[in-house]
Chain A
Amino acid sequence: MNKYTEDDLREELKTKEYEYGFYTDIESDTFPVGLNEDIVKAISLKKEEPQWMTNWRLEAFKAWKEMTEPEWANVHYVKPDFQAISYYSAPNSKPKYNSLDEVDPELLATFAKLGISIDEQKKLSNVAMDVVVDSVSVATTFKKTLGEKGIIFMSISEAIKEHPELVKKYIGSVVPQKDNFYAALNSAVFSDGSFCYIPKGVHCPMELSTYFRINQAGTGQFERTLVIADEGSYVSYLEGCTAPSRDENQLHAAVVELIALDNAEIKYSTVQNWYPGNAEGKGGVYNFVTKRGLCETNAKISWTQVETGSAVTWKYPSCVLKGDNSVGEFYSIAVTNNYQQADTGTKMIHLGKNTKSTIISKGISAGKSQNSYRGLVKISPNADNTRNFSQCDSLLMGNECGAHTFPYIEAKNKTARIEHEATTSKIGEDQIFYCNQRGISTEKAIALIVNGFSKDVLNKLPMEFAVEAQKLLEISLEGSVG
C-alpha cells in the first residue's frame, strides 16, 4: 500500500469541494433586488401580517436608514451592497402539506443529500424539525405531540397570525429594533423563522430543532427566532445550518431572542456550517447574527455553539441576567481555516443579585484565517455576589493564521468575583509523536487532540449534535497541519 503522505492530503484537499455545496433547482418566488419602504411593506403584505407588525417593521427600517455599518470587529470584508440583495425568496411549492409525501420530491432529495432526511429524522430520532428552506417554513413535524403539552412550535409568520398577543409582547423585547445595524435590518425585512412557547411548568419532551439553509442565489437570509420559556419550563433548542456553495458573498443577518421567565431554563445549541468560501477565500457567507437571552429570577440560559463555516462571522450570543440567582452560560468552539474570519464571543450582563455566568471559548485557527474572541462581562452596581468564570483557549495551526482575544470586564460591585484566563498554544510535536508511536496517523492524531481540546464544549451539545459537530471539526481542519 502506498504511503499516504501529507502532500497527498494537501493535494486532495485542494481539489476537495465543499461537501454540501450543491444547488437545488426549485422554482422560487423572488422579489426584485433593493431595499426601500415598499419592499418592507411588500414583505409584510406577502406574509399577510397584521398592521402592527407592518408598522413595527417600518419603524425598524427607519432606524436602520439612520445607522451605519459597524466597523469595530476584527474582520475585513467587502461590505455587502444592501441594495443589491433580494429580500424575499420563498419556494414556490405552496400550500403547506399535511404529510411528507406531498413535499416536492426534489426538496426531499436535498435533505437526503444533507443527511437530514425528514423521514428518517421523524421515525428514528426524537427530534421535531421545523425545516426552513430559503426563509419559509416548509414542513413542521411533531406538532401534534408538542401541541398536547401546550407547546407552541411554529414558524414566526404563523405565530404572528395565530398568537399575536405573545409575539407582540415579546418580539423586540430582548433585541430592540434599534439594537444594532444588522438587528435593525433584520427587524425590517425578516422573512421567517421559528417561534416557540413553552407553557408554565412544562418540560419539553424533545429537542426542538430547525435547519436553516440558504438556497437561492443572491438572496440574503434574515431569520427571526423567538423562544419563550414560561415560568418553570425547560426547553432545549437546536439550530443547524449548511449552505450550498456560491461564488458571490451571501449575507445572513439573523436575530435570536430567548426569554426565560422565572425558574425556566433554555438550552440553545447551534452548529453553524455555512459555506466558508473556497481555498482562495472567494465566496462564502457573511454571518452577522444578533443573539440574546433574557433571564428572569432563577432562570438559566445556556448557549452552545460550534462555528465552523462562514467566510465572516460576527456573532455574540449574550445573556442579560436580570433576575436574581439567574445563570448564563456560553460554550463555544470556533474553527477557522483558509481565509475565514471569525469575531465571536459573548456578553454577560449581570443585573440581578447572586447571578452566575460561565464562559468557555475554544478557538482553533488554521490556514490563513483570523479567529477572535470578544467578550464582555458587566457587573452592575446592584448585582451583589455575582460570579463569573471565563476561559478562552486558542489553538494555532501554522504561522499564517491569527488568534486574538479581546475580553472586556466592567465591574461596579465590590462583591463580584470575576476570573478570566486565556491561553494560546499549538499542538505539541510530542503529542503527535506519542500518537504516531501508537500507530495513529498524524491526521487522526490531530483530530484526536482537537477533539480533546474542544471536549469541554462538545460535551455540552445534545447527543445528536455532538456527533455531527465532531465530524465537522474534522472536515474543517483536514490538512491544516503540515
Chain B
Amino acid sequence: MDLKEKLISSFWAFENHQDEDTYLHNIRTEAIKTFENHGFPTKKEEAWKYTSLNSILKNDYSVFPKQENTIEYNDVKKYFIHDIDTYKIVFIDGKYASHLSQTTHDGMDICLMSSALSKPKYRILVENYFNKIAKKDSLTSLNTAFSNEGAYIHIPKNKMVAKPIQIIHFSTGNESATMLQPRNLIVVDENSHLQIIERHQSLTVNPVLTNSVTELYINKRAIVDYYKIQNDTLDASLIDNTYINQKQESICSVHTFSFGGKLTRNNLNFYQHGEGINSILKGVSIIGDKQHVDHNTLVHHTEPNCESHQDYKGVFGENSTGVFNGKIIVNKEAQKTNAFQSNKNILISDKATINTKPQLEIFADDVKCSHGCTIGQLDENALFYLRSRGIPEKEAKALLMYAFSNNVLNSVKIPEIKQRINKIIANKLGVNIGFDL
C-alpha cells in the first residue's frame, strides 16, 4: 500500500473517531477528496519542477503515533530560545505536551487548535478564518483533512504581546517513520503586535515527514514577526505551507532560517488586501550533505501603495540543492506598488546545484518592481586580503560567508534569535570565528 492509499484509508478511520460536527466534517471530506484527486505533487507540476518528493514518500510512515512518548525539558532545552521568557506551545509527535508548554487565556488566546475546533466559544472565529486562505492544493488539503492539532492564537485589538510565542514540534518516532501534520491558525486583530518563533525538531534517526499548514490573519495596522528556524536532522523532511492575509497598513515579516533537514520546502504565500501594507520575506539557507531546500514564495499585491521586500541568501555545499521560486503578482488596481525580490547564492562545492526562478507578473503600470538573482563564488581578492592578515583559509571563508548572509539577520528584532542563528551559522561553517557573532 503506498502512502497515498494509506493516508486515505487512515483518514476514514480518523474521521470516524471525531465528534459529530458537520461543518468541520464537510471541510475535511472535501479536502481528502482534493488530495485523492491530485495525489502528491510530481516534478511535472511547474511549482515542483525542481523538487521531487519521491525519496521521502517511499518510507512507511505511521500516521498516528501508537504510543505516547514523553521527553524531559533538560534534554531538549537547547532547541528552545531559552534565555528569554516566552509563551510556549510544544507538541511531541503531534500531541500537546503540557509540561513543556506555557499557554494563556488571559486577555488573549494562546492555546491549541484542538480546543479551538471543539469548543463552541471559538466557533465563530473558526468559521470565519479556518481554511479560508489556505490554497486548495493537494498537500494543504491533505493537512486540512487531518487537521486536529496545532497552535491556535488569537490576539484581540490593541494588544502588544509582551513575550514572543514559541511553537515547537518534537518528533520522537521511536517505533517507525512518522508523518506529522500540524495545523496552526493565528489571528491578530487591529493594532496588535505579535512575535512567533517556530521550530520542527526530530529526536530520532527514523524518518520524519512534517506537512505543516499555518494560516495567519493580520488585521489593520497590526505588526507580526515570524521566525522559522529549520535546523533538523538528516532524516527529517519538512513541507511548510504558510498563508498570510494582510489588511491595510499592517506589517509582516517572515524570516526563514534553513540549516538542516533532508528536504525542506517552504511555501510562503502573502496575500495583501488593503493599502499601505508591507510584507517582508527574508531567508538564509546554509546546507551541505545531500540536503535540499526549496523556497517557494508568492506575494500577491491587490491594492495600491503597498510594498514587499524579499531577500533570500543561500550557501550550498557538498551534494546539496537549493531552489528558489519566487513570484510577485501585481494586479492592475495595485498602482504605486514597490516590490523587490533578491536571491543571491554561493556554490561552494562542485556537486551542489542551484535552481532559481524569480518571477514577476505585473498588470499595473505605475509600479516599481525589480528582481535580481546572482550565483557566484567568494571573492578571491577578499579571501586573499583576509589571509594576508593571518586569518586561516577556513576562518576567512567562514567570515566571508557570514558577511554574505549577515544583512538578512539585520532585520531580526529579537537579539537572542540573532545570537542563536549566529551560533548555528558558525557551527555550520565549522569554525570558531573568535568573536561572539
CB of B419 within 8 Å of the partner chain: no
Q: Are B347 and A420 in contact (CB under 8 A)?
A: no
CA distance in complex: A423, B349 (Å)? 31
Q: Are A396 and B372 in contact (CB under 8 A)?
A: no
B361 partner residues in chain A, CB cutoff 8 A: 402, 404
Q: Which of A399-453 contact B (CB under 8 A)?
A: 399-426
The interface bits of chain B over 348-370 (1 if a CB of A lies within 8 angstroms of the residue's CB, else 0) are 11111111111111111111111
B18 partner residues in chain A, CB cutoff 8 A: none
Q: Which of A206-233 contact B (CB under 8 A)?
A: none
B354 partner residues in chain A, CB cutoff 8 A: 409-411
CA distance in complex: A411, B376 (Å)? 10
CB of A72 within 8 Å of the partner chain: yes
CB of B373 within 8 Å of the partner chain: yes
Known: A398-B365, A423-B369. A418 touches B374 (CB 8 A): yes
Q: Are A406 and B359 in contact (CB under 8 A)?
A: yes
Q: Are A417 and B377 in contact (CB under 8 A)?
A: yes
A381 to B, closest residue via Cβ: B350
A372 to B, closest residue via Cβ: B361
Known: A414-B350, A418-B376, A419-B374. A394 touches B355 (CB 8 A): no
A381 partner residues in chain B, CB cutoff 8 A: 350-351
CA distance in complex: A410, B323 (Å)? 9
B364 to A, closest residue via Cβ: A399
Q: Are A424 and B360 in contact (CB under 8 A)?
A: yes
Q: Which of B98-145 contact A (CB under 8 A)?
A: none
Q: Which of B275-303 contact A (CB under 8 A)?
A: none
Q: Are A396 and B362 in contact (CB under 8 A)?
A: yes
CB of A397 within 8 Å of the partner chain: yes
CB of B161 within 8 Å of the partner chain: no
B50 partner residues in chain A, CB cutoff 8 A: 410
B356 partner residues in chain A, CB cutoff 8 A: 407-409
Residue of B355, B369, B372 touching A420 (CB-CB under 8 A): B372
The secondary structure that dominates the A interface is: strand
Count, A-B residue pairs, CB within 8 A: 114
Known: A72-B46, A413-B350, A415-B377. A397 touches B365 (CB 8 A): yes
B330 to A, closest residue via Cβ: A424
CA distance in complex: A411, B399 (Å)? 24
CB of B241 within 8 Å of the partner chain: no
Q: Are B367 and A424 in contact (CB under 8 A)?
A: yes
Q: Are A426 and B375 in contact (CB under 8 A)?
A: no
Q: Are B365 and A404 in contact (CB under 8 A)?
A: no
CB of B371 within 8 Å of the partner chain: yes
B351 partner residues in chain A, CB cutoff 8 A: 381
A425 partner residues in chain B, CB cutoff 8 A: 367-368
Q: Are B365 and A401 in contact (CB under 8 A)?
A: yes
CA distance in complex: A279, B218 (Å)? 43
Known: A409-B356, A411-B353, A414-B377. A401 touches B363 (CB 8 A): yes
CA distance in complex: A407, B343 (Å)? 12
Q: Are B365 and A409 in contact (CB under 8 A)?
A: no
A424 partner residues in chain B, CB cutoff 8 A: 360, 362, 367-370
CB of B237 within 8 Å of the partner chain: no
CB of B332 within 8 Å of the partner chain: yes
CA distance in complex: A72, B357 (Å)? 15
CB of B335 within 8 Å of the partner chain: yes
B363 partner residues in chain A, CB cutoff 8 A: 399-402
Known: A414-B377, A417-B377. A409 touches B362 (CB 8 A): no
CA distance in complex: A424, B363 (Å)? 10
Q: Are B374 and A399 in contact (CB under 8 A)?
A: no
Q: Are B376 and A417 in contact (CB under 8 A)?
A: yes
A417 partner residues in chain B, CB cutoff 8 A: 374-377
Known: A405-B359, A411-B354. A422 touches B371 (CB 8 A): yes
Q: Are B348 and A414 in contact (CB under 8 A)?
A: yes
Known: A399-B332, A414-B350. A409 touches B376 (CB 8 A): no
Q: Are A413 and B347 in contact (CB under 8 A)?
A: yes
Q: Are A405 and B347 in contact (CB under 8 A)?
A: no
CA distance in complex: A336, B365 (Å)? 14
Residue of A399, A403, A408, A415 touching B355 (CB-CB under 8 A): A408
B419 → chain A closest CB, angstroms: 30
A404 partner residues in chain B, CB cutoff 8 A: 359-362
B376 partner residues in chain A, CB cutoff 8 A: 416-419
A398 partner residues in chain B, CB cutoff 8 A: 365
Q: Are B365 and A426 in contact (CB under 8 A)?
A: yes
Q: Which of B33-69 contact A (CB under 8 A)?
A: 46, 50
A424 → chain B closest CB, angstroms: 4
CA distance in complex: A250, B361 (Å)? 28
Q: Which of B187-241 contact A (CB under 8 A)?
A: none
CA distance in complex: A396, B335 (Å)? 12
B348 partner residues in chain A, CB cutoff 8 A: 414
A19 → chain B closest CB, angstroms: 27
A412 to B, closest residue via Cβ: B353
B325 to A, closest residue via Cβ: A408
Known: A414-B348, A420-B373. A409 touches B367 (CB 8 A): no
Q: Are B360 and A399 in contact (CB under 8 A)?
A: no
CA distance in complex: A423, B372 (Å)? 9
A362 → chain B closest CB, angstroms: 15
CA distance in complex: A404, B364 (Å)? 11
B422 → chain A closest CB, angstroms: 25
Q: Which of A258-272 contact B (CB under 8 A)?
A: none
Residue of A397, A405, A413, A418 touching B360 (CB-CB under 8 A): A405
Residue of A407, A411, A423 touching B347 (CB-CB under 8 A): A411
CA distance in complex: A401, B46 (Å)? 24
A400 to B, closest residue via Cβ: B332
A422 partner residues in chain B, CB cutoff 8 A: 358, 360, 370-372
A419 to B, closest residue via Cβ: B374
B377 partner residues in chain A, CB cutoff 8 A: 414-415, 417
A412 partner residues in chain B, CB cutoff 8 A: 352-353
B349 to A, closest residue via Cβ: A414
B371 partner residues in chain A, CB cutoff 8 A: 405, 420-422
Interface centre among B46, B332, B365, B377 (most CB of A within 10 A): B365
CA distance in complex: A18, B345 (Å)? 48
Known: A396-B365, A404-B361. A414 touches B372 (CB 8 A): no
Closest 10 CB pairs of A and B: A396-B365, A414-B347, A418-B375, A421-B372, A424-B369, A426-B365, A405-B360, A402-B363, A423-B370, A411-B354
Identify 17 residue pairs between A and B in the complex whose beta-carbon atoms are under 8 Å apart, listed by A's number.
A394-B360, A394-B362, A399-B335, A406-B357, A407-B356, A412-B353, A416-B347, A416-B375, A417-B376, A418-B374, A419-B374, A419-B376, A420-B373, A422-B360, A422-B370, A422-B372, A424-B360
B residues lining the A interface (CB < 8 Å): 46, 50, 332, 335, 345, 347-377
Q: A411-B345, A420-B371 are in contact. List 15 more A-B contacts (CB 8 A).
A: A72-B46, A396-B362, A396-B364, A407-B357, A408-B356, A411-B375, A414-B352, A414-B377, A416-B376, A417-B376, A418-B375, A419-B374, A421-B373, A424-B362, A426-B366
